């Protein structure tokens, strides 16, 4: 006989839900969004380290140094320091927002129900989902190019397909990504675990290939692309904000992964071991490889797929492209499909299950890349480049996501004091449908950020968007929650 009321039990600091009909029959619940059972929390610190290695070693990371030197006016040394510092900084919201995922086994959208409301959680969820779908499309474009070059190294006639071959490669890689995620969290865990050491070996191999062709002294001495005599502070801070923005998305939806961690120690150590050093080293590799590319292949090439495509040996091109495909797959599945899959389910859990949500994610990502795909097929002509979209997004979306991160941390640690009603997060009778404190705390920093775009005096608010947004969002949310609680406290005292 099915129990009516849900029961919550605790085992060594980890909470588990035995769902009753009050939760099972709720429109806010489905099996894929349910809290993980303690026995399902199998990821130790090395699995989480592998997750971050797998996500960090990708084409966009490789190009970060070039983005900072070309668009943010930093020297090579300043760019690499910005990348290192940014990833140390982003560990803070990543680790803090991972806590409730590990403790309660809940994914990101369910956690948001505490700070934005049961229905209101869909707004920040969809903002996060749209960004992830865009990145899914961009990464799939890189993966598709790698498949195209891989097939071209094996079948001579494939090269003549040109842009059409790239589009076919895109669709193959697109389908492969969706298949991995549909299979579930365990398939992602093993993909990341198996690919991490392989990707590290690839990085070492590329470094050995490039180092004889580049002088580090000369590379570090290249002057920055900023006005002569200009202070480095503002340029460095803008670059730092952009680099924080690189993982601003994961600092929100990290509960999607930490819900599988064995304990808090595992998620903390795994993130510390896996993120900052991997990002720094692979971005450094990108800088070195780009500098060496002139001697290696005769032209300056800023992305590894195109660089390896210049190699004359078909065997080495095939091997290298296979490894890049694995690297991009490990990044894309974890960083860009898991989150929107959960986010789309949150809209209507009884209607949208994981498989439907994965397919919806794939469709949105495909549509967002439609312009680029049509260009490759020769059906339209456009000067808008994928690189321009990529570099502009880094700063822009971090400004939007910062307030959400601040609100989540303040809500869980200061307002709720790490105590959530686990069953209540899946019903309509504990938390409000819309938590307007969350929306006001989110809206004010976003409006100020948009207004600052048209003001020279307040341009710093946009340039440092993630920092200003997360701090202001958290402060406003705390203040609104405290003020809302005061009348009830006074009434009780009387």
| Domain CATH code at residue 278 | 1.10.4160.10
Helices (H), 90-160: 91-104, 108-116, 122-154
Our measurement of the distance from residue 262's CA atom to the centroid of its chain's CA atoms, rounded to an integer in Å, reads 22
- Dump pLDDT digits (tens) for 223-237: 888 888 788 888 888
Helix (H, G, I), strand (E, B) or coil at 473: helix
CA distance linking residue 161 with residue 158, whole number of Å = 6
Name 261's bridge partners. Answer: 43
* Closest by CA position to 126, among listed 334, 330, 355, 360: 360
Collect the ranges in the chain with pLDDT lower than 70. Answer: 1-3, 384-399, 486-494
Burial of 248 (0-12, 13-18, 19+ CB in 10 A): buried
Q: Is residue 77 part of a domain?
A: yes
Q: Please answer whether residues 53 and 39 qualify as being in contact, where contact means their C-beta atoms are separated by less than 8 angstroms.
A: no
Q: Is residue 289 part of a domain?
A: yes
Q: Is residue 94 part of a domain?
A: yes
Looking at residue 3, its pLDDT comes to 67
Q: Is residue 191 part of a domain?
A: yes
For residue 251, report the phi and psi dihedrals to the nearest 5 degrees. -65, -20
Q: Which domain holds residue 150?
A: 43-378
Looking at residue 26, its pLDDT comes to 95
Query: What count of other Cβ atoms lies within 10 Å of the Cβ of residue 383?
Result: 6
Q: Which two tokens stand for residue 463?
A: 């340039």
Looking at residue 399, its pLDDT comes to 63
Q: Please answer whether residues 335 and 57 qualify as being in contact, where contact means their C-beta atoms are separated by less than 8 angstroms.
A: no
Burial pattern 359-377, b for ≥16 Cβ within 10 A else e, equals ebbbebbbebbeebbebbe
Number of domains in the chain: 1
Q: Which two tokens stand for residue 271?
A: 């993130």
Q: Is residue 428 part of a domain?
A: no
CA distance linking residue 199 with residue 207, whole number of Å = 12
* Closest by CA position to 182, among listed 341, 367, 35, 343: 341
Scan for tokens 């202001």, then name that residue: 472
Q: Please answer whether residues 112 and 408 qualify as being in contact, where contact means their C-beta atoms are separated by less than 8 angstroms.
A: yes
Name 17's bridge partners. Answer: 8
Looking at residue 40, its pLDDT comes to 93
Q: Is residue 61 part of a domain?
A: yes
The H or E element that residue 226 is part of is none
Q: Is residue 143 part of a domain?
A: yes
Query: What count of other Cβ atoms lies within 10 Å of the Cβ of residue 163?
Result: 15
CA distance linking residue 50 with residue 196, whole number of Å = 5
pTM beyond cutoff 0.85: yes
Looking at residue 190, its pLDDT comes to 86
Looking at residue 385, its pLDDT comes to 63
All residues at 6 or more sequence positions from 309 whose CB lies less than 8 Å from its CB, including other chains: 149, 317, 321
Tell me how far apart the 2 most distant CA atoms of the chain are, in Å: 85
Helix, strand, coil share of the chain (percent; to 5): 75, 0, 25
CA distances from 325 to 59, 299, 307, 336 (A): 10, 24, 15, 15
**Sign of the alpha-carbon dihedral angle for 112, 114, 117, 119:** positive
CA distance linking residue 451 with residue 457, whole number of Å = 11
Q: Is residue 65 part of a domain?
A: yes
CA distance linking residue 283 with residue 287, whole number of Å = 6
Q: Which two tokens stand for residue 402?
A: 């910062």
């Amino acid at each position: 006989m099915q129990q009516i009321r849900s029961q919550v039990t605790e085992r060594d600091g980890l909470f588990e839900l035995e769902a009753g009909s009050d939760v099972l029959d709720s429109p806010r619940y489905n099996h894929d969004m349910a809290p993980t059972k303690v026995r399902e929390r199998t990821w130790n610190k090395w699995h989480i380290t592998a997750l971050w290695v797998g996500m960090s070693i990708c084409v966009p990371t490789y190009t970060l140094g070039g983005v900072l030197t070309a668009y943010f006016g930093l020297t090579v040394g300043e760019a690499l320091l910005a990348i290192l510092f940014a990833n140390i900084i982003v560990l803070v919201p990543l680790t803090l927002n991972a806590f409730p995922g590990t403790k309660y086994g809940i994914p990101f959208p369910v956690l948001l129900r505490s700070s934005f409301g049961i229905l209101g959680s869909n707004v920040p969820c969809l903002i996060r989902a749209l960004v992830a779908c865009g990145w899914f499309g961009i990464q799939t474009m890189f993966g598709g190019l790698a498949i195209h070059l891989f097939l071209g190294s094996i079948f001579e006639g494939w090269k003549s397909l040109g842009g059409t071959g790239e589009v076919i490669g895109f669709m193959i890689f697109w389908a492969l990504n969706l298949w991995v995620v549909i299979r579930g969290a365990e398939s992602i865990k093993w993909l990341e675990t198996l690919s991490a050491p392989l990707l590290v070996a690839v990085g070492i191999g590329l470094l050995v290939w490039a180092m004889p062709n580049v002088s580090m002294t000369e590379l570090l001495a290249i002057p920055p692309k900023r006005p002569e005599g200009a202070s480095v502070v503002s340029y460095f801070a803008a670059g730092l904000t952009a680099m924080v923005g690189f993982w601003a998305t994961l600092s929100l939806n990290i509960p999607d992964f930490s819900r599988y961690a064995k304990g808090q120690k595992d998620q903390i150590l795994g993130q510390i071991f896996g993120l900052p050093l991997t990002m720094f080293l692979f971005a450094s590799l990108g800088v070195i490889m780009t500098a060496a590319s002139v001697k290696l292949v005769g032209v300056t090439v800023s992305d590894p797929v195109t660089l390896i495509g210049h190699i004359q040996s078909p065997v080495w091109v095939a091997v290298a492209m296979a490894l890049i495909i694995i690297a991009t797959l490990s990044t894309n599945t974890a960083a860009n499909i898991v989150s929107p899959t959960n986010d789309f389910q949150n809209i209507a859990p009884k209607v949208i299950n994981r498989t439907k949500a994965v397919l919806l994610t794939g469709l949105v990502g495909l549509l967002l890349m439609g312009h680029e795909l049509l260009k490759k097929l020769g059906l339209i002509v456009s000067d808008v480049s994928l690189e321009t979209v990529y570099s502009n997004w880094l700063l822009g979306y971090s400004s939007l996501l910062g307030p959400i991160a601040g609100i989540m941390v303040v809500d869980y640690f200061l307002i709720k004091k790490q105590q959530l009603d686990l069953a209540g997060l899946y019903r309509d009778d504990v938390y409000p449908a819309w938590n307007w404190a969350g929306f006001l705390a989110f809206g004010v920093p976003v409006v100020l950020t948009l207004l600052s775009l048209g003001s020279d005096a307040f341009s710093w608010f946009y340039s440092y968007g993630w920092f200003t947004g997360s701090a202001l969002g958290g402060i406003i949310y705390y203040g609104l929650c405290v003020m809302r609680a005061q009348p009830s406290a006074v009434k009780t005292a009387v």
